[in-house]
Chain A
């Protein structure tokens, strides 16, 4: 637990010291305005909850991808990875604490989007199924954290993670049905989308803001958690493999 808390506090300090890390919290209000303007201009006021949930998911994804993904690479660049690994505390626990802090920061986006919607358009978040909404958000943050661990492990392997991070936003927003349900996508893409946890999260988030009964809530939430757990397991395994290889080859530092 000490390692987890230390990682959590460390990441909070890192984020606080670099305003660039808070980037998604600056773009989320703009995307909220863009999406709400599109649906209102099209006369589709029924899609306003969807327009509010999209920037929330995009903010969380950005934090997982950029901030979470570059955790270990950043340590490596600063030459502190060897020290972190040599410490008696489990490295994975510290990383988990840091990822948790990132997700907590990402969650600020929810309130921000809510506030901007109210302030600019007078549109709030309709809490039609509050418990379902809270549980879905918690499940989504868990799955996002798992994805961040996978990114963190994989980015150490790449020569230039910049190319991937820069390219992995909108393709996943489409495949993850962040705004548009995957049912609208061509049939051949839908099987790919269904293994991306965001497609389940996005559907559930939208459903929890609408008055209709949520069909098979627990089963769908279970899929979000399951896919998140799979991500964690993959991330943990890849991380262990990568770090062992780096220790053997002496490539821990940015030589």
Chain B
């Protein structure tokens, strides 16, 4: 019980530190007029492509997919955590501390999942009506927890990848961006999964976003609750699997940096 309380305490402090970081980057004005404008523009960009390519239906498909992709995108941003610690010079201290680094990193960046879910829901509810997307009330409320689930699932993938790139900060931005654009390409965001070869379709089901997005599309179609819950369950399983992988590998990968001294600035 003491160990659990201690871990919870570390997570609480790490989460607070993450929030403080975020507040140093964004004021509410820069979040609304900078970040949110970008997010709404990003979703609208694809909505406009849908209109140009075909019709409203095509635009709605792209709008919903790309709004949800924002949740996954912010979740994957958790990868930046290790680089931030390294730049701040606190990474060696964290690894040397008795607390497991993965606990600190997982908690510290958790605000990104919250931010991603909030940004995605707002983007959908702002850009959607601009394009004439009907938000079926009260069914549409289900989109909020499902978006949160997608953000969390992507966050778990991001934490796993953070362990992999722990010692290679020079490729951190590269991994972040290729991962989220890769998710946009493979997870049924812009074209149905059936468009791609079978192997990619299977692979996509093992990635965050795919199953959660299927659930959200079914919410809009008014499909059966059982089917929606099935896709949501699959999304939760995928997230849990990536988190388990992160827990199994993160500390081992981090401790390699202790052996070869690559944790510090100079490495």
A residues engaging B (CB < 8 A)? 18-20, 22-23, 26-27, 30-31, 33-35, 37-39, 41-44, 47, 160, 162-164, 166-171, 173-174, 178-180, 184-185
Contacts and interface: CB of A to CB of B under 8 A. Distances in A.
Contacts of A23: 173-174, 177-178
Nearest to A66: B173
B88 to A, nearest CB: 14
Contacts of A22: 174
Contact of A27 (B34, B38, B54, B181): B181
B185 A33 contact: yes
Given A34-B185, A167-B35, A174-B48, A39 B53 contact: yes
Interface string B167-187: 000111110011001101100
Contact of B181 (A31, A41, A42, A43): A31
Nearest to A175: B41
Interface size class of B (residues with CB under 8 A): 35 or more
Nearest to B172: A20
Nearest to A33: B185
29 contacts: A20-B172, A22-B174, A23-B174, A23-B177, A27-B178, A30-B178, A34-B181, A34-B185, A37-B191, A37-B196, A38-B190, A39-B53, A41-B195, A42-B58, A44-B53, A47-B53, A163-B26, A163-B30, A163-B35, A166-B34, A167-B35, A167-B37, A167-B38, A169-B38, A170-B38, A170-B41, A171-B37, A173-B45, A174-B45
B42 interface: yes
Give 3 nearest A-B pairs by CB, closest first: A42-B53, A167-B34, A170-B42
Contacts of A160: 25, 30
Nearest to A181: B52
Interface string B36-64: 01110110110011111110001000100
Given A20-B170, A37-B190, A41-B191, A26 B178 contact: yes
A184 to B, nearest CB: 6
A19 B171 contact: yes
A9 to B, nearest CB: 21
A160 B25 CA distance: 7
Contact of B41 (A33, A173, A179, A184): A173
Nearest to B49: A179
Contacts of A164: 34
